[in-house]
Chain A
Amino acid sequence: MNTFDPRRRLLRQLMRYRRAFLPGFLCVIVTTSLSLTGPWVLRYAIDDLQTALTLGKVRLYAVALLGLAAGAGLFRFLMRRIIIGASRNFEYDLRNEFFAALQRMHLGYFQQTRTGDLMSRATNDLSAVRMMIGPAVMYSATTGLTFVVALVLMWSIHPWLTAVALVPLPFVTLAVKYFGSAIHKRFERIQEQLSDVSAVTQESLAGVRVVRAYGREHVELELFRRANEEYVQRNRALIRLQGMYFPSMGLLMGIGALLVLWIGSREVIAGRMTVGALVAFNAYLMMLGWPMIAFGWVTNLLQRGLASWKRMLEVLDAAPAIHDPEPSDRAELTDIRGAIEFRHLTFGYGDHVVLRDVSLVIPAGTTTAIVGATGSGKSTLLSVLPRIHDAPPGTVFIDGVDVRRIPLATLRGAIGFVAQEPFLFSTSIADNIAFGVRVDETTRERIEAAAAIARLDKDLSGFPKGYDTIVGERGITLSGGQKQRTAIARALAVDPKILVLDDALSAVDTHTEEEILQRLGAVLRHRTSIIVSHRVSTVRGADQIVVLDEGRVAEVGTHDELVRRGGLYADLSRKQMLEDELAAS
């Protein structure tokens, strides 16, 4: 939607903080002016000492010097607080916007984009953008102003000497430019080699079994040694150049000072200049040095910041592929009953077709089981229901309404979804179960009721902290079965009209599964449910069983009907009886 130039976008974004930046710039002007007045005072002080005026006057200068420093310090403090503070506010807002933008993205986006890449944008790029609008802006303003005013003041002291002092300036500019681009090039070569070092390391560590089995440790070490050596060589190439940068600046700046001292002194001897003026002139020259060095640094910050800003805009401006229906198209459903229908649904990812012409009616309040081999399209069929993936218009209906016309909040609020590999968050078990629940005084009851149905209660009594047990990243401290049952409780806690279990009992032992199914029975009476499973024992009681084969509906019927039919389902059922026998031995 936003086809603006990134710079214009940035300016527009920055306009929000104009209230902070305006006083900030004011502080820049005040503090710079006060700092620049210091040497001027010194000039009169020294001249007065020479011409033997009153000592009192000299002491007055000393006090003035102190006063100026105090004033400059105060405004410098304000400047930093205001401008850098504003940049922190900018960062804070932008990070929130970034997060909000990603919250609107659909699953496919996260599958295509590596998490590491998103993280890098949220951290490195954001920080580069902040450096651009905070420190870079602050330093450009102070150094720019100092540069101009100091030059004017020097000119007013001695125009010709100013010209002499500026002799090294073109060289400084050249050096900054030359070093800047050369250093950048060598730096890139280092980065390339670093990714080489990383790749070698990654490979030899990830392939550790092969390396050990074939006794190739020394080969891998030799490869690493070479990559490491090259990395060091490239770093040394950079150092050779970069090590020259500051000494060169020091030399050029020093030559300016040398010329001023030499020629300035001759001017003093010739009576065209006072000693005080010479000292003040020298002080200004010192002040010029920093802006010249800072120039290269600030340019670098700006370049990097702008590149990062563009990368952030890619995320901020990305249009969410799955979003709420347009108001004109919106179906107002106040109460979802839970009747589901798939009508000639063909769906795939890119060129890869997963579902072919699936038509299926699931009446409200019934239980439907789906079976089929890995890759037969079971999970995909479930995922188009809450619009994790978007099916074509006119193919998926709830209560006769196309799901694409139902507001996302209404739609998803009516569905309790338990994924194949449930994602738990690193908080307490209670928080995980209450994940989709608005917190109120009945929350605890709901959590406990849901946990009881999912048969989680008996595990919890064994945990020292019970419901407050922290589950660790992705639920790592729980067993596979416990994770699945927590996810089931989480789905039940929202009291959904439609319950979807995608192979949600695969890691639960058969005995517990039996118990859960029994308890679910009462809950499911008023709900529509879809259960995917590999186990015949799980699906046999369903009102209808759907067999998917390579994306098509191969068989539909009750357990008895399908067994009698002697097709895929009957084969699965027979195979499982054998397996059960095997497990029992």
Chain B
Amino acid sequence: MTHDDEVIGKAYDSRLMRRLMTYLRPYRSQVALAVVAIIGHSVLELAPPYLTKIVIDTYIPARDRSGLAGIAAIYLAVLTGSFGLEYLQTWTMQATGQRIMFDLRMQMMTHLHRLDLRFYDRNPVGRLMTRVTTDVDVLNDLFTSGVVSVFGDVFTLIGIMAVLVWMDWRLALVAFSVLPLIALITQWFRVNVRESYRTVRMWIARINAYLQERFTGMSTVQLFRREARDYDAFDEIDRRHRDANVDSIFYYAVFYPAIEFVSALAAALILWVGGGWVFDNALTLGALVAFLQYSQRFFRPISDLSEKFNVLQGAMASSERIFHLLDTPAEIEVGKRDRSTGRPLSDPGASVTSAPGTIRFENVTFSYGDGEPVLRNVSFDVHPGQRVGIVGATGAGKTTIVSLLLRFYDVQQGRITIDGVDIRDMDLLALRRLFGLVLQDVYLFSGTIASNIRLGDATMTDDTVRRALDAVHASTFVDRMPQGIDAPVVERGSTLSAGQKQLLSFARALAFDPRVLILDEATSSVDTDTELLIRDALTVMMRGRTTVAIAHRLSTIQDMDRILVMHRGELREAGTHQELLAARGIYHRLYQLQFESAAGIAAVRGA
């Protein structure tokens, strides 16, 4: 199995490149400015050798000291201009690159917030993080050092060639005679380096995978006394990686000296041929010196160009992964869509009426992926103001009911309606606004107590926050904190106890004053005092609200209006506590189980 992070794509893919270029479009004027600056800079860079020529050919023979001062002044102007243009170019291009990265990250994040939960089930958060941060940064290299400097390099090459031809086209031809050699060397280098780069990357990936696995499974390794054999296996991978690297050193070690040698060859040819012409007065000495200096500058961009290859290759691989993410369609859209064509409808979706509606599951069947259905043909009603409890063993499908109601997933068969309207025809945000959800594992964001209640709703007053905290008895511990509701909460609320986190999530649900309350009771055990607080808070919250509660402790739901008993994805029993007990079915056994074990342990401990 290959992980898509390890796949190394082509070095250049015109389809990807064209798509990348579309991100430049909003910044057309900046890009144009940068290009003009690059060209200007390249032209000015051509000046110094030519100034040297003038000095040697004109002013030194004429012993013209004031002329020299004039040249110095021009030189200074060229330097200053060159400085300004280079800075302008770097700044414009890199700053624009940053804006493009900003746009790209926003686009990805917006898309991620649109994708449905099935996508999140398949993709670990770590991988998504890599897309948004690392991959985008790799792409940035393309804009900052890759594309632009390649353009500059190419322009410098063209400029030098033009000046050489203009000064003396015959000697220029002599200098250019080494170009085929350059082309050959570069081609040889490019092909081999790409190949060895791939090999090195492959071995690095193997090393990382091996280390990652052994680090996590080290105690298994030790228990089975595999250390020596594992060391040998690792040594083998490590050695192959080194050998691959040593191979790639060979190509670099040949390439740079070879280019330098060709550059010297060009200089020697210029001296050999041009020297003869100077001798015959067919060429000035200054022109010869200028030619020699230009030939030196000529080869630098060429070796630079080859180095850009790795940047390009990495950027292509990253952009491929980014686009793959952006192209993943969202199965559940915020706006209402025509269910047969999938096209958005102009109608924003059946508006949600202000009166609390009747929730109805009609023959709902659902499975995650292609496996066994988690829910089979489930039908039930929840009437306005009713309090309904759902019980059943782990894996009976209780949590799935909640996920479907909130459209985290869409049903595969049957339908869910509110006041007779299919929830798939409703505006998604309006639908979710109906519910106040308390999840099994409470998720707290880093921020403050208040920000975790508000969840970014700026219109919610401190007063509302406090009242919500009061109502669920969370004030008892919040007030003890020095900063009160502004007390900091770290990531995932890890400094708070399980009970405190539960109370906060109650307050959060209550603060939004939802029409329907959905509770997925936490399984984690809390101390008796907190347990009592939680139970009391639940009563407060349910008062006057339609409630759907998933319970693990039967005591929570004993006095509910209706209890649904789920068993292996099917709704097996429904009724009040007393009715269900009297029926002596599954509920009765579940009840006995909890009662028996609780009583049993108490008896033993007490003994």
Interface of A toward B, CB cutoff 8 Å: 38, 42, 45-46, 49-50, 52, 55, 58-59, 61-63, 65-66, 68-70, 72-74, 76-78, 80-81, 84-85, 88-89, 91-92, 95-96, 99-100, 102-107, 110, 115, 118-119, 122-123, 194, 197-199, 201-225, 228-229, 231-232, 235-236, 239-240, 242-244, 246-248, 250-251, 254-255, 257-258, 261-262, 265-266, 268-269, 275, 279, 282, 286, 386, 388, 408-409, 412-413, 415, 417, 419, 422-423, 425-426, 435-436, 470, 472-474, 490, 494, 567-568, 571, 574-575, 578-579, 581-582, 585
B516 to chain A minimum Cβ distance, whole angstroms, is 12
A568 near B604 (CB under 8 angstroms)? yes
A205–B108 alpha-carbon span in the complex (Å): 12
Considering the complex of A and B, which 9 residue pairs feature the smallest CB-CB distances, nearest first? A219-B456, A69-B264, A436-B224, A571-B600, A73-B257, A243-B90, A80-B253, A423-B217, A262-B72
Partner of B117, one of A78, A208, A265, A579: A208
Knowing A81-B249, A568-B604 are in contact, say whether A91-B455 is a contact too (CB < 8 A). no
B117: which A residues are within 8 A, CB to CB? 208-209, 212
Closest approach, in angstroms, between the C-beta of A31 and any C-beta of chain B?
A: 9
* A contact residues around B65 at 8 Å (CB): 266, 269
Residues of B within 8 A of A69 (CB): 260-261, 263-265, 268
- In the complex where A49-B285, A81-B250, A247-B90 touch, is A66 in contact with B597 (Cβ < 8 A)? no
Q: In the complex, are the beta carbons of A222 and B432 less than 8 A apart? A: no
Are A265 and B55 within 8 A (Cβ)?
yes
- Interface bracket on B: 35 or more
Measured CB to CB, the closest approach of chain A to B229, in angstroms, equals 9
By beta carbon, the residue of chain B nearest A585 is B586
Question: Which residues of the other chain, A, contact B56 by a CB distance below 8 angstroms?
Answer: 275
A202 touches B129 (CB 8 A): yes
- Give the CA-CA distance A422 to B224 in the complex, in Å: 13
Q: With A266-B65, A575-B593 as given contacts, are A77 and B86 in contact (CB-CB < 8 Å)?
A: no
Assess the B71–A235 pair: CB atoms within 8 A.
Answer: no
Chain B hits for A73, CB < 8 A:
257-258, 260-261
Which positions in B face A, CB cutoff 8 Å? 1, 48, 51-52, 55-56, 59-60, 63, 65, 68-69, 71-72, 75-76, 79-80, 82-84, 86-87, 90-91, 94-95, 98-99, 101-102, 105-106, 109-110, 112-114, 117, 120, 125, 128-129, 132-133, 204, 207-209, 211-227, 230-231, 234-235, 238-239, 241-242, 245-246, 249-250, 252-254, 256-258, 260-261, 263-265, 267-269, 271-272, 275-276, 278-279, 285, 288-289, 292-293, 296, 393, 406, 408, 429, 432-433, 435, 437, 439, 443, 445-446, 455-457, 491, 508, 512, 567, 585-586, 589-590, 592-593, 596-597, 600-601, 603-604, 607
- The main secondary structure of chain B at its interface with chain A is helix
A52 touches B87 (CB 8 A): no
> In the assembled complex, how far is the CB of residue B444 from the closest CB belonging to chain A, in whole angstroms?
8
Which residues on the A side are within 8 Å of B238 (C-beta)? 92, 95-96, 99
Contact of A110 among B218, B278, B288 (CB under 8 A): B218
Residues of chain B within 8 A (CB-CB) of A417 are 223
Given A212-B432, A220-B456, A567-B604, output 19 extra A-B contacts at Cβ < 8 Å.
A46-B288, A69-B265, A77-B257, A81-B249, A88-B245, A105-B218, A110-B218, A119-B208, A123-B204, A208-B120, A254-B75, A261-B72, A262-B68, A266-B65, A282-B293, A423-B216, A425-B220, A426-B209, A436-B224
Complex CA distance for A92 and B585, rounded to whole angstroms: 67
Taking each of A74, A80, A100, A265, which has the highest tally of chain B beta carbons within 10 Å of its own beta carbon? A265
Q: How far is the CA of A214 from the CA of B406 in the complex (A)?
A: 10
- Within 8 Å CB of A218, what residues of B? 456
Task: Given the known inter-chain contacts A210-B443, A412-B222, please indicate yes or no for A77 contacting B278, CB distance below 8 A.
Answer: no
Residue of B59, B99, B128 touching A232 (CB-CB under 8 A): B99
Contact between A229 and B245, CB atoms less than 8 A apart: no
Contacts of A474 in B (CB 8 A): 216
For this complex, 20 residue pairs linking A to B, each with C-beta atoms less than 8 Å apart, are A69-B265, A80-B252, A88-B246, A88-B249, A92-B241, A96-B235, A115-B215, A209-B437, A213-B437, A214-B455, A239-B94, A250-B83, A250-B86, A254-B75, A262-B68, A262-B71, A426-B213, A575-B593, A578-B593, A585-B589
